[in-house]
Amino acid sequence: MVLRLAVLGPVRAARDTGPVPLGPARGQAVFVALALRAGRVAGREQLLDAVWGEHPPASGGKVLPSYVYALRRRLDPPGTRPEDSLIRAEHGGYRIDERQLLLDSDELEAAGREAGLLDPDAALHRLDRALALVRGEPLAGLPGPFAAAERARLRQRVRGLRVQRLQLLAELGRFAAVLEEPTAFFDPCDEQVAALRIRALHGSGRQAEALQAYEEIRRLLRHELGVDPGPGLRRAHQAVLRQEPGVREPVARQRPGRTPDQGPGQGSDHAHSRPRTPHPAGPLNTLPGDSGRLIGRDTELALLTAPSAPGAVGVLTVHGPAGVGKSALVVRAARELSARYPDGCLFVDLRGHSTQRRRTPEQALQRLLRTLGAAKGELPGDLDELTEAWRAATSGLRLLLVLDDALDAEQVRPLLPAGADSRVLVAGRRRLADLDAERRLALDPLDSAQAVSLLTHLIGDERAAAEREAAARLARLCDGLPLALRIAGSRLQNRAAWSVQYLVGRMAGDGRLLGELSVGDRSVEAAFRLSYDQLDAEQQRGFRALGLTPTVEFDVRTAAAMLSPGPYAAYDAEGCRDTEELLEGLVDASLLQEPRPGRYRLHDLVRVHARRTARTVPEEATAVCTKGLHLHLAAARLASDWGTAGFPSGPDEPGGEQALGGDRVFGDWRAAEAWLDSFGGDLPDVVGHAVLFEEYDLACWIAEAYTDYFVRQGRYHEAQTALELALAHTDRCTDPRMPLAVRSCLAYTAIHQRRYTQARALCTEVLEAARQCGARGEEARALTGLGATALSVGEGSRALAYVTEAAQLCAARQDSWLGAMALLIQGLSHQFEGCDEAALASFAAARACAEGAVRTGERSVAAKRHPVQTGQHPAATDEPPITAGPPSPATTPRPHMLGRILSCSADIHLRSGRYGEAARLLTEAVRLVEQGGDVFQGARSLTRLGTAVHGQGDPGAAIGLHQQALVQLQLLSPLTEPGYAWLEMDIRSRLGGALMATGRLTEALRQYEGVVRAPDRGRGPGTAEPPGGRPPGPEPASGGAPRAGRPAARGPRTSGPPRGTATGR
């Protein structure tokens, strides 16, 4: 017994025996969501979204069986077996047995099709019979997004039949009946209806009213929509103005023996002489059902629905990665735009990235032409003829066309309609750069707040509020990708016992993350795989490699090095160009982002997929990963003040020599430093990346090489993070030097952070171990660190003993750089003990040693091959001295060391009143530290230069230098720079003295008040003043300039070592 379901008004059901009660509105909504799917299975998640929308029940999908049970009791005749029920249970959901159901909405569809085949009178009668079924608002009172979407669709279908009926009345000359049709049935901005009324008024002899009606609709369109009348309205207006007698536009109908293109005298022999130009029988809407609430896309939606330029076909493209929500966005935009396009809204899935066969332009055009009314047998197979027929069919129409999942411009271009003011929305994963478009929209994943909002919508406010942190973490794991968020939300909906944190735990790690983002036939990894399969072999290799980049964001040089067929440094300019072209191809495919010009990154989930794909080719993955790490090691060693010659062990290239080739890749240390700067705070991740891929030697070498670069820039936390990560794996290194070297670097960092107890413990540990194994280089490094630590805590004589021994070891080994550092600290120790002449002698020796680094050249590497090659290692035996060699970019004297030495020498000349000599040294020091980009040392040297200029009798110029130093210091953070408070007090004291000397007492007072406040404001953890108890104030006790020809009185030994003199290699 068939059930009749009426949906063209309040929902009703009946059998031959009488009405059938459907129960509460929510149950009716469940039944309608099944009934209107035409026998297709509706999954439980689909039903929940369709009926409950953004407020799903707390029990999730468990609530549905109770609704289905109640519906079966009401709808099935007594004694019906489950397998014979109207509602059938299927795997993962339910479906309606369509053989047992009749829908009144099907009568609308049939009437629309049949009316085009009948004579006008019969067609009018057929439409009147169908429209009599409409009892008001379709699906009135039913809740849920699905009911709302179907209500809009049915309303549009009813409207289409009403318009078709009016066209028939006009064709029959029944103009009074056209004008009697209630206007409440139509949108006031409905141009098609307005054109029919204008023609009816004209046909009734009411030309003035027809012109007035045109003006009214023209003003309304301009005011409400910001558009001008479309072609149909304009033609009606012109017909009235020209007083054309034939005001009726006949409705296209298919009649036996003739086509709409044939005149009365044409026979059937000419029926197929050219492609028939079809016309829609009424407004069409083939848009798919709405997918529910659209979150976080308001800006993009506004761009897609903004008015287009009049008189042309507006093409708007949306591209983005798989699962980002392109289809949902363009469908929602099309629904909002549909009222502006009276001739219909058409949708075609081009299947550019699908498990189904890609839809060709010929197939798409045939589909579109059939939608407009062409019979299948009438359509040609040739693309040119199909394109001609499509353009002819759409030339007088104002259409909205949605092309989803487009692969390329070649697939899209033939499908563009010809009608003026039509609009085309194109969605696809690739950027269609060679398709002319009015607007292009790159759709990115949702930001964190939007992602949490979508997740909350899916799992419910209460559940999300109870686990806010876990929900935020889950949103981050899903990388803001709507597909991933919806899958995760669906899993939580169906598993009410799961907490959000439990799902987060299940998703931990690359190996499980993508596996958990799969439900039914929806899978994030499967979507990514379809994009990957579209790439050519070279692009696939590049995509796999990019999953192994040491940092999330990278540049062309990184990719070129990793993809180089030989060693990482073997690529050239042509290789870079090829790599850039490959990267741009991946950007076009929406597999790669370009957040800034020349900088690239993979979305987090895409990177996980790329890494998993790379591991399917393990030999390639190992080689690619190692090349990327070698590039960072070479850059860090070249950028380090220690120079590449300061690292006695490292990776071997073919031939056995340590030839990282950083100078070949970067040119000099400045370029290497600039390259490292471009990575921002991501560099510690490089060490973690090396550990992840079990490249423990490289992890330690890179952490060691980063140390001086980080410390020189005051990035202590990053240095400590990288080193501590490496330290945990030194026991797994094949390089026996690493346990000592990494601890020495941690001590170097701790000294600059003023954590002297930790620094002393580390240096002592390294010293003992180095002496036991005869590692003279590490011994010298530890002694220099102990000397710096002792001096920093006020133990000048002890510091002298340490660094004197260190300097002797360096001289014996001809280690110029470490020797210069030891001599610098030796000079500071003499200065602290009051022995200025001895200090000047040490500084002079340090300067000669630093400048001599060029003359000594690079180390001979032949004697320092990796222990795998020679069986022993420099750390385990005495090291050979440096041998002579030509200077290279790696060994060019670094401004940082020389700048420090000159600045420290100038301190003594300042206190001795030798202002001219001090000014000369400080001018050179300022130039050097500016070259090196050391902000702290720059501020320190500038304020001392100000004091020297003041001493030479120019306090006005001194004020400018002190102010410049203060501005430069403020580029640093008082929370992360341990010496900030001390140097601020020093600068303000000197500036106050210069202001007093020029009579600007009020300003001087403010500076001295700043001195009093500075320690409390600037001191964070570990920011004690340097040895001596207070920073140096203005040189003369009075605060003014010393008198010419007379040395300034020497104050207490307060200057201590400046930041940056701690040792390290």
Q: Give the burial class of 846: count Cβ atoms within 10 A of its Cβ; 0-12 exposed, 13-18 middle, 19 or more buried.
A: buried
397 and 334 fall within a common domain: yes
Question: Comparing 255 with 939, which gets the higher pLDDT?
Answer: 939
Coil/strand/helix, residue 77: coil
pLDDT of residue 257: 34
pLDDT of residue 292: 65
Least confident of 329-333, 743-747, 867-871, 970-974: 867-871
Query: Has residue 860 got a pLDDT over 70?
Result: no
Query: Has residue 432 got a pLDDT over 70?
Result: yes
The confidence band for 814, taking pLDDT boundaries of 50, 70 and 90, is confident
Query: Has residue 409 got a pLDDT over 70?
Result: yes
Question: Comparing 244 with 312, which gets the higher pLDDT?
Answer: 312
Instruction: Report d(CA 282, CA 252) in Å as an integer.
Output: 10
Comparing CA positions, the residue from 378, 375, 379 lying closest to residue 363 is 379
pLDDT of residue 659: 47
Maximum mean pLDDT: which of 276-290, 639-653, 918-932: 918-932
433 and 455 fall within a common domain: no
Written as one letter, the residue type at 1000 is R
Q: Which of 420, 442, 464 is the last residue of a domain?
A: 442
In the chain, how many domains are there?
3
pLDDT of residue 511: 67
**CB hemisphere CA count around 649 (13 angstroms):** 30
309 and 336 fall within a common domain: yes
49 and 141 fall within a common domain: yes
Question: Comparing 880 with 339, which gets the higher pLDDT?
Answer: 339
93 and 3 fall within a common domain: yes
The confidence band for 652, taking pLDDT boundaries of 50, 70 and 90, is low
Q: Which residue has the tokens 């973490």?
A: 473
Query: Has residue 852 got a pLDDT over 80?
Result: no
The radius of gyration of the chain's CA atoms, rounded to the nearest angstrom, is 40
pLDDT digits (tens, 9 = 90+) for 702-733: 999 999 999 988 889 999 999 999 999 999 99
423 and 515 fall within a common domain: no
CA-to-CA separations, 1057 to 137, 495, 504, 834, in angstroms, rounded:
85, 64, 50, 13
pLDDT of residue 1046: 31
Residue 677 covered by a domain: no
**Backbone dihedral angles phi then psi of residue 553, each to the nearest 5 degrees:** -105, 140
Show the tokens assigned to 808: 């002797």
Residue 950 covered by a domain: no
Q: Which of 123, 139, 172 is the last residue of a domain?
A: 172
Q: Give the burial class of 138: count Cβ atoms within 10 A of its Cβ; 0-12 exposed, 13-18 middle, 19 or more buried.
A: buried
403 and 480 fall within a common domain: no
75 and 152 fall within a common domain: yes
The confidence band for 259, taking pLDDT boundaries of 50, 70 and 90, is very low
129 and 62 fall within a common domain: yes
Residue 687 covered by a domain: no
Residue 1044 covered by a domain: no
Average pLDDT, the chain: 82
Show the tokens assigned to 532: 């990957």
47 and 165 fall within a common domain: yes
pLDDT of residue 38: 66
Contact, 323 vs 483, CB < 8 A? yes
Q: What is the CATH number of the domain that holds 304?
A: 3.40.50.300
pLDDT of residue 571: 62
Residue 479 covered by a domain: yes
Q: Which of 503, 528, 553 is the last residue of a domain?
A: 528
Residue 1012 covered by a domain: no
Written as one letter, the residue type at 546 is L
The confidence band for 643, taking pLDDT boundaries of 50, 70 and 90, is low
The confidence band for 510, taking pLDDT boundaries of 50, 70 and 90, is low
The confidence band for 307, taking pLDDT boundaries of 50, 70 and 90, is confident
CA-to-CA separations, 769 to 695, 741, 742, 777, in angstroms, rounded:
25, 11, 13, 12
Question: Comparing 977 with 838, which gets the higher pLDDT?
Answer: 838
368 and 429 fall within a common domain: yes
Residue 39 covered by a domain: yes
Q: What is the CATH number of the domain that holds 166?
A: 1.10.10.10
Instruction: Report d(CA 209, CA 212) in Å as an integer.
Output: 5
Comparing CA positions, the residue from 323, 328, 327, 359 lying closest to residue 530 is 323
pLDDT of residue 1021: 33
Bridge partners (DSSP) of residue 319 are: 428, 442
Residue 307 covered by a domain: yes
Give mean pLDDT, residues 649-674.
Answer: 69
Q: Give the burial class of 423: count Cβ atoms within 10 A of its Cβ; 0-12 exposed, 13-18 middle, 19 or more buried.
A: buried
Task: State the residue range of the domain holding 308.
Answer: 298-376+384-442
pLDDT of residue 545: 95
Comparing CA positions, the residue from 139, 412, 146 lying closest to residue 289 is 146
305 and 396 fall within a common domain: yes
